[in-house]
Structure 1
Amino acid sequence: MVVDLVVIGTAITLGPLHNSAFILLLTAERGVRRGLVFILSWLAGLLMVIAAVILLTGGTPPARQSVPSTAALAGKLALGLGLVAYGERKRRRPPRPRHAPKWMERPDRVSGWTAAGLAILLQPWAMVGAGAATAVDANLSSIASTLALTGFCVLATSSMLAMELYTTFSPVAAEAKLRGLRDWLDTHQDQAIVSLSLLLGLWLVADSIYQLVE
């Protein structure tokens, strides 16, 4: 479970869409405040998903090869196949011009509520769902499982936490570097999405099949 959560959390935190939007908010006027709202809303979304899984399992992992355990693995397998199909389709599709949303034209006018909504909207829910399917195996009576779930949420947010702290303590240096990072993300967005989708999808497929036939 721990290895799966690390792989999924890393894929989530490296996602180009939410990082690009977060940088735009963070480098705007009063961006640190909006960035904090974005992060808190992002974490709330992750915690709600994990909490829903824990409520369903009662904090106790289902027995191996039971119906709930098999259903969780089947769900993770389906999500993996979906990510592979999405990544391959995006890889084969010729590049298309992207039209930026209107809020990106004036990020300094984005309200706190809008920032919170963007955090929920831009979460890679297929990857979060894979994390939830993995969390089914968590045993809350074990400190290791609790730490693993906590670490997953922190890892999935780590890129934005790092940028938020950097901007808070070194605003001038951070603004220049983050703008450069956003330009790079915008240029390589499709490649990053394809790579993350294919790599994580293949991992989920292989891991799920292994556990199903083990």
Structure 2
Amino acid sequence: MVLDLVLIGLVIALDPLPVTGFVLVLSARNGVWKGLAFILTWLATFVGIIAAVLIMTGGQPPAPKSAPSTAALAAKLAIGVGMVCYAERTRRNIGKQRKSSGFMSRIERITAWSAAGLALLLQPWGMVAAGAATVVDADLEHAASYAALMGYCLLASSSLLTMELYATFAPRSAHVRLAKLRTWLEGHQEQALVSLVLFLGLWLVGKSIYQLTA
């Protein structure tokens, strides 16, 4: 469970879509406060989903080869296959001309409440679902499980937390560096997304098949 949560959390942290959106939120007027609203909603989503899963399992992992255990593995397999298909479709569309949208530019003028809503909109729900299917194996009788779950939430939010702290304590430097990051993401967003999603998808598929057939 721990390794899966580390990989899922790392991929979520590096996902270019929420990172790009958060950079734009920080660029808005009073961006630090709006960024805080974004992060609090982002973290609350992770905590809420984990809590819901733990309530359903009672804090006890299902027995190996049981129906709940098999269902969780099947869900992870399906999510992994979906990620691989999504990565391939995105790869094929790289470089194709797309109609520009004013959505991202409007982010710079959003309110704190809108920033909170944006955190929900930009959640990588496929990866979050993979994390939820992994949390099924958490055993709350051991402190290590609490540490793993807390670490997962913090790791998945680490890129946002880093940018928020940077913008808070070094606003001038952060403005310049985050602008460069935004420019880089706009030119490489799809390539980065394909690489991350494909990696995680293949990992989930391979490990789920192994555990289902072992």
% identical aligned pairs: 57
- 2:98 maps to 97
Distance 1:98 1:190 in 2: 15
Aligned pair in 2 of structure 1 residues 156, 98: CA closer, same or farther (>3 Å)?
farther
Q: What is the match of residue 64 of structure 2?
A: 64
Kindly tell me: are residues 34 and 199 of structure 1, through their superposed partners in 2, closer, same or farther at Cα, counting changes over 3 Å? same
Aligned to 1:7: 7
CA contact (8 A) 1:138 1:145 kept: yes
Alpha-carbon shift at residue 92 of structure 1 (Å): 1.6
CA RMSD of aligned residues (A): 1.1
Q: Which 4+ stretches in 1 moved above 4 angstroms?
A: none
Instruction: Give the number of aligned pairs.
Output: 213
Is 1:181–2:144 an aligned residue pair?
A: no
Which residue of 1 is the match for residue 40 of structure 2? 40
TM-score normalised by L of structure 2: 0.96
Distance across 2 between alignment mates of 1:24 and 1:92: 27
Contact 2:32 2:164 in 1 (8 A): yes
2:169 matched to 1:192? no
- Structure 1 window deviating more from structure 2 (93-102 vs 83-92): it is 93-102
Answer yes or no: is the 8 Å Cα contact 1:61–1:136 preserved in 2: yes
8 Å Cα contact 1:30-1:108 kept in structure 2: no
- Mapped partners of 1:78, 1:178: distance in 2: 36
Measured in 2, the distance between the counterparts of 1:65 and 1:101 equals 50
Instruction: For structure 1, list consecutive stretches of 5 or more residues without a partner in the other structure.
Output: none
8 Å Cα contact 2:138-2:145 kept in structure 1:
yes
Does the 8 Å contact 2:83/2:197 carry over to 1? yes
State the Cα distance separating 1:108 from its structure 2 match: 4.6
- Cα distance in 2 for partners of 1:63, 1:86 equals 32
Aligned equivalents of 1:106, 1:121: Cα separation in 2? 15
Corresponding residue for residue 77 of structure 1: 77
Instruction: Tell me the distance in 2 between the aligned counterparts of 1:98 and 1:69.
Output: 44
Question: What runs of 5+ residues in structure 2 fail to find an aligned partner?
Answer: none
Structure 1 residues 109 and 90: CA distance shift in structure 2, 3 A: closer
| Inter-partner Cα distance in structure 2 for 1:195 and 1:127 | 14
Q: Which amino acid aligns with 1:99?
A: S
Which residue in the other structure is 2:28 paired with? 28
Counterparts of 1:122 and 1:200, CA distance in 2 = 18
Shift of 1:11: 0.5
